[in-house]
Amino acid sequence: MKADMFTFPKLPLETEPLIDDTTLRDGVQMPGLAVSPEDAAQIAKLLDELGVDRIELHHFQEPDKKAVKLIQDLSLNARIAGWCRALKADIDDALSCDFNEIGISHPVSYIHFRAKWPDKTPEELLQRVVDAVEYAAKDHGLRVFVHGEDSTRADWNFERRFINAVAEAGAECYRICDTVGVGLSDPNAPLPSGIPAKVRAIKAETKIRDIEIHAHDDFGNAVENTLAAIRAASGVWDRIYASTTFLGIGERAGNAETEKVIMNLYMHHGVKKYEGKTQKLREIAEFISRATGYTIPPNKAIVGDYAFAHESGIHTHGVLSNPLTYEPYPPELVGNTRRLTIGKHSGKAIIRHKIIEIAGREPSREELNSVIERVRAIYRDGRRASLREEEFKEILREVKLIT
């Protein structure tokens, strides 16, 4: 199935969006989650098959180091990157794991400076980061991304100097980190929280080669802000990285979902590199759920059990006539399944459809009405959940539609 088969217009991009998936770094920092090295390697393999461009990893504990080695041995197409603080010890650890590239994370807002280093000046902290970047990039030949933590609350005059300094030190990419999710997607929103304004300003006023967006979901806007950054980069930047996690897992409210960003890029912007790969989305979601212990909400967009579930009479009647009435694309496009369920709001059309599906024949008017009455009686007695398949079959046995 191709994105241009469906009925909404596409907005082409004049920039190359690159997915920098951090499920195995930021994602697994979510409280209560853990992943084995073997499962981490399988997650990386699945992300690579999906077309993810870069995968970010933890590497400080022994299980993480084992996962890094297993992933490197897979020889994936995706680039593999470590994550470091602006410390030589962290960079040395990444070097010991044979990474070719790393991200160096450091705050850029005065809020963080005052809380973490009250005895240091911003200039001293800037020099700290410059020294770390030079050590990684110039002394050891690593490709370096610099993550500007709390960028959306940073003083722009300082952040601009920060970006130019790390670019001179050898960093190739600067990551806008919307650390507490306060970024605004409105093109007219000013700095520092205006995401499009920051994307434009970094291009106009700094020397960094590439840019990245890393959005948190504290206000529920992580995907919106990620896409706003990509759209703002169109015609301005040659490429833009989007830092995402599968299922949006991560600290606090999590991050922008990899699957949502990819589907928006494919369906709304016609990004062709995901063609033939989106069918893996549900499979990847289910594997990550099993591997980490994360429970996928049933109504999770794209990959949830209920993402293509229909129960109410109006919706099921429409979907039975033409699925596009209540589905923007077929569930098969993302490896999901349409579910037509019987419940409190079900009408005659879906009940008739389910009878034919199970019994293999058209019910008489009397049989249909008898089934409808039994279903309604169940819900008059206070039932809330949809009927399980076996419960509906039992009703059909009662009216002799099946044995």
In sequence order, the 6+-apart residues with CB closer than 8 A to the CB of 141 are none
Contact 176, 232 (CB under 8 A): no
Tell me the CA distances in angstroms from 191 to 3, 169, 220, 260, 397, one per residue in order.
35, 25, 20, 26, 66
Per residue in 156-210, pLDDT (tens digit) is 999 999 999 999 999 999 999 999 999 999 999 999 999 999 999 999 999 999 9
Beta partners for residue 81, in sequence order: 56, 101
In sequence order, the 6+-apart residues with CB closer than 8 A to the CB of 17 are 230, 233, 239, 240, 241, 242, 265, 269, 271
Bond before 192 cis per omega within 30 degrees: yes
> What pLDDT score was predicted for residue 314?
82
With 70 as the cut, is the pLDDT of residue 3 above it? Answer: no
> What pLDDT score was predicted for residue 313?
76
Average pLDDT value over all residues in the chain: 96
What is the residue extent of each domain of the chain? 9-275, 309-398
Per residue in 208-218, pLDDT (tens digit) is 999 999 999 99
φ/ψ of 391, rounded to 5, equals -65, -40
Instruction: State the pTM of this model.
Output: 0.93
Domain at 9-275: CATH code: 3.20.20.70
Query: Residue 347 — pLDDT band, cuts 50, 70, 90?
Result: confident
Question: Following CA atoms 288, 291, 295, 297 in sequence, which dihedral angle do they give, to the nearest 10 degrees?
Answer: 10
